[in-house]
Amino acid sequence: MRWREATTPAPADPGLADLTPDRRLRRLELTVTRRLDGLLHGQYRGLLPGPGSEPAGSREYRPGEDEVRRMDWAVTARTTVPHVREVDADRELTTWLLVDASPSMEYGTAELDKRELAVAAVAAVGFLTAGLGNRLGAQVLGPDGLRRHPARSGRTHLLGLLRTLLAAPRAGGYDEADVPPAGPDLADALDAVHRVATRRGLVVVVSDFLDGLPDDPAQEPPWERALRRLAVRHQVLAVEITDPRELELPDVGLITLVDPETGRRREVWTGDERLRERYAAAAAAQREQVRQAVRRSGATHLPLRTDRDWGADIVRHVRAQRRLAAAPAGANRGGAA
C-alpha cells in the first residue's frame, strides 16, 4: 500500500512545481550544470563505469566483486592465480531511462514532490551522459500505460524529453469506486526496457520501488527478477525517490490516509505515540527491503529524498563511483570479505 495524507500542505515558498514547464526546465538546467560542472568534463564519463568490448589486459580476481563469467582462463592457467579480463569502455554510450510517473509519485511535502525530483534525476543523468555519439532513450510508466521515447543524441532531444516529463498531466488520485483498470506495472516496464535496450549500455530506473512490495520481507518484490535480468547485460542504476512523510508520521491529530492508486481511505489518529513508532519501523523495514532487493539484483543504488539536497547526493554518488572505478586492482580487496 502507498498510503498518503488526503491533503498535502503547500510549500511556503514557490518551488519548481509552481513554475511553468519552460521556467522549470531552465532552472533545472542551471542547477544541474552549476552543481555538477566539475563532473561534466570528459566526453565519455557517465554515472557508472561503462561496459566495454575492447580487451585491456587482465588482473587478479577479487572475490565478491568480480563476475566469474569474466574469468581469463588462459592467464589463470599460466599463473595458477585466478585472473579476470579487463575491457575499455565503449566510446559511445546508450542510456535508457525508466521513469515511474504513476500516481504514487505525485506526492511531496517539501519543495519538490516525488515526480519533480524524478525529473531532476533524469536531468542529471542526461547532462552527465551527454557526449559525442551518446544516445538517451526513455520509457515513462504513467497511469495511461507505458510511453516510449526512442534513443537519440543531442541537447535538443534531452530538453524535449524533460519538457514532456514536466508538462505531463497528473492523475490526481482515484476514488475507491472509480479505479481504472490495472495497466503495466514496474516489472512489465523493466521487461519492456530489456526488449528495447539491445545494445550493452546504461539503464537508469527512477521510482519509489513500492510497486507490489510484499508484506513479507523474505519474499522478493515482483520487479526484482526483471531488474536482475537487466543487470546481467547492462550497468543499472536504481534511483529511489522518497518523501520524509512516507518515513514517519507527524503528531497532528486525526488524518485521512489515501492510497493514490486504489482510492482506499483510512482514518488514523497520529496522537498515538506507539502507532507513530510502528509506522516508522514499518517504513524503515520497507526501505531496507527495497535496498536489499536492489543489491541482490546487481544494480547500483542511489536514494534521493525530496527534503534533501538532491544535487549534493548525486555529486557524492558520482564521485564515489569514479573513485571505485579508478582504484588500483588490489585497493578494495580487503573490503570484499
Q: How far apart are the first and last CA of the chain?
A: 37
Q: Are both 168 and 288 inside the same structural domain?
A: yes
Residue 280: pLDDT over 90: yes
Q: Are both 60 and 193 inside the same structural domain?
A: no
**Helix, strand, coil share of the chain (percent; to 5):** 40, 20, 40
pLDDT at residue 45, as a whole number: 44
Q: Are both 164 and 70 inside the same structural domain?
A: no
Q: Are both 201 and 311 inside the same structural domain?
A: yes
Residue ranges of E strands in the chain? 4-5, 52-60, 83-89, 94-100, 135-142, 145-152, 202-207, 235-242, 254-258, 265-269, 300-305
pLDDT at residue 59, as a whole number: 82
3-state secondary structure of 198: coil
- Quick one: average pLDDT of 168-189? 69
Could you tell me which residue, 11 or 134, shows the higher pLDDT?
134
Q: Are both 60 and 167 inside the same structural domain?
A: no
pLDDT at residue 87, as a whole number: 64
Residue 327: pLDDT over 80: no
Q: Are both 74 and 94 inside the same structural domain?
A: no
- Quick one: average pLDDT of 250-256? 86
Q: Which of 67, 88, 109 is the last residue of a domain?
A: 88
Average pLDDT, the chain: 80
> Are 306 and 11 within 8 A, CB to CB?
no
Could you tell me which residue, 237 or 112, shows the higher pLDDT?
237
Tell the burial category of 336 from Cβ atoms under 10 Å away from its Cβ (0-12, 13-18, 19+): exposed
Q: Are both 139 and 259 inside the same structural domain?
A: yes
Residue type, 47: L
User: What confidence category does residue 39 fall into, taking pLDDT thresholds of 50, 70 and 90?
Assistant: low
Q: Are both 60 and 132 inside the same structural domain?
A: no
Residue 261: pLDDT over 80: no
Nearest alpha carbon to residue 277 among 305, 245, 243, 249 = 249
Residue 263: pLDDT over 50: yes
- Distance of CA 16 to CAs 6, 11, 232, Å? 22, 11, 37
Nearest alpha carbon to residue 159 among 17, 28, 41 = 28
pLDDT at residue 335, as a whole number: 41
User: What confidence category does residue 78 fall into, taking pLDDT thresholds of 50, 70 and 90?
Assistant: confident
Q: Are both 19 and 74 inside the same structural domain?
A: no
pLDDT at residue 183, as a whole number: 65
- Distance of CA 215 to CAs 171, 178, 259, 289, Å? 26, 25, 16, 10
Q: Are both 234 and 286 inside the same structural domain?
A: yes
d(CA 185, CA 139) in angstroms, rounded, equals 12
Which of 153-162, 256-265, 312-321 is predicted with the least confidence, judged by mean pLDDT? 256-265
- What whole-number percentage of the chain has pLDDT above 90? 34
d(CA 53, CA 200) in angstroms, rounded, equals 9
- What whole-number percentage of the chain has pLDDT above 70? 78
Tell the burial category of 103 from Cβ atoms under 10 Å away from its Cβ (0-12, 13-18, 19+): buried
Residue range(s) defining the domain that contains residue 64: 53-88
Domain CATH for 327: 3.40.50.410
> Are 105 and 241 within 8 A, CB to CB?
yes
Strand 254-258 relative to strand 265-269: parallel, antiparallel, unpaired? Answer: antiparallel
- Quick one: average pLDDT of 201-208? 95
Q: How many domains does the chain have?
A: 2
DSSP structural state of residue 71: B
pLDDT at residue 337, as a whole number: 33
The set of residues, in sequence order, having a beta carbon less than 8 Å from that of 306 and lying 6+ positions away, is 108, 109, 110, 111, 112, 113, 114, 116, 117, 241, 242, 243, 244
Q: Are both 133 and 164 inside the same structural domain?
A: yes
Q: Read off the pLDDT of residues 213-249 as tens digits, 9 standing for 90 and up.
A: 888 888 899 999 999 999 999 999 999 999 998 898 8
Q: Are both 178 and 68 inside the same structural domain?
A: no
User: What confidence category does residue 299 fall into, taking pLDDT thresholds of 50, 70 and 90?
Assistant: very high
Residue 325: pLDDT over 90: no
